[in-house]
Amino acid sequence: MSGLYMLFGTLIALGVLVTIHEFGHFWVARRCGVKVLRFSVGFGAPLLRWHDRQGTEFVIAAIPLGGYVKMLDEREGDVPEALLAQAFNRKSVRQRFAIVAAGPLANFLLAIAFFWMLALLGSQQARPVIGAVLPGGLAEQAGLQVGQEIIAVDGEATPGWAGVSLQLIHRLGESGELVLRVREAGGSLESDVSVPLRDWQKGVDEPDPLAALGLKPWRPQVPPVLADLEPQGPAALAGLRAGDRIVAFNDQPVSDWMALVEWVRARPGQTVAVRFERDGLEQTVSVTLAEQGAGDGRVGFFGSRVQGFEWPAEMLHEVSFGPVDALPEALRRTWSMTSMTLVSIKKMLVGELSVKNLSGPVTIAKVAGASAESGIAEFLNFLALLSISLGVLNLLPIPVLDGGHLMFYLVEWVRGRPLPERVQVWGMQVGISLVVGVMLLALFNDLSRL
């Protein structure tokens, strides 16, 4: 079932985002009087095609990894004299700029729409209460304590742990003071705690901001009852079943699922004795834990999820907005994620953030499947984030991308004439090399994670 979610989630995500992006170009081109020859979603052999009354060919192609809008242009072939006024290259700099910028802009508008829907749907979030402060960590040195609730990071409100993590990600690779506003356990007293950072997690391949800070979120004690075993995972191969309750590993008692997870992750490849309870009777089996990751990143894998459990009502709160209030919230989230994407790119360029954090099509497909399986809210959030990434990346001033064309148009506007053809061709060659290099690096990172 997960494979189907991955397939359909990826197809829907790419289909929606590419269609909206290209529709932005198409819509503005039509309004600027440019004749659009083809609107294609995907590349390769056409699966479906049709024409509208203005002669534009609409195509759904076999390879769903992008799309394009082909416009009438003298640089790409002879144009009948009667149609010269409808050629893209005959339009003013301002009109060409608007047509090219409309694609990324459409992606940002789509993200705003998705975030607006999410704000309307509302969410139930776990309060960011500290469950453990690791000895010797930055959190302990700053005086943070178990039971305190983090209500803001660097002045940004954090209603849940996702908000805390997002604000911490903003600070990766930096030096300075991280300011956490905390509320004391069982009271209303609030105070600011400063955490000194120095090249915090600079260049780390897969940073874990909370762990790096020395914090663990509060979690309810979850009974170690198995559910949804991987068919070929270690637990299933050893004869364990959904509903079995783990009692001990190597005669060490287990009473909480998270403790079990930590114990397993620390023992990749080891064979352990697992005592479990089934139908009121205890039994013991030998399980050889699988390995995930490579090198120092290797962790053990048991092959089971935990049975569903309930959070205490007092540790949860509802976050929702009305139709009007949802719009500024959507704008805020879109701006926040756009800013974080741009800052992350800058940090990769200067070495503050490892380029191994760059993800490609394999990771996108996995996240698309997981978010689709988790429900409509998670999938909408994924689509919004991916749409923002697509918009930001297309606006980078790299020739062959929309941002590269916009850069050429700005230079043309300042100079009063276009750049020489040879300079533009050289720029395109450099741009293609950069884009291909980044794509190969992202794919290499994806395969390394597998």
Residues designated catalytic: 22
Q: With 0-12 CB in 10 A as exposed, 13-18 as middle and 19+ as buried, what is 90?
A: middle
From its phi and psi, is residue 399 left (phi > 0), alpha (psi between -120 and 50) or beta?
beta
Q: Which of 188, 180, 175, 176 is nearest to 163 (CA)?
A: 180
364 vs 362: CA distance, rounded Å: 5
SS3 (DSSP) at 202: coil
Q: What is the dihedral of CA 312, 320, 305, 356, to 10 degrees?
A: -130
59 vs 46: CA distance, rounded Å: 6
Q: Which of 174, 195, 202, 57 is nearest to 130 (CA)?
A: 195
SS3 (DSSP) at 135: coil
From its phi and psi, is residue 143 left (phi > 0), alpha (psi between -120 and 50) or beta?
left
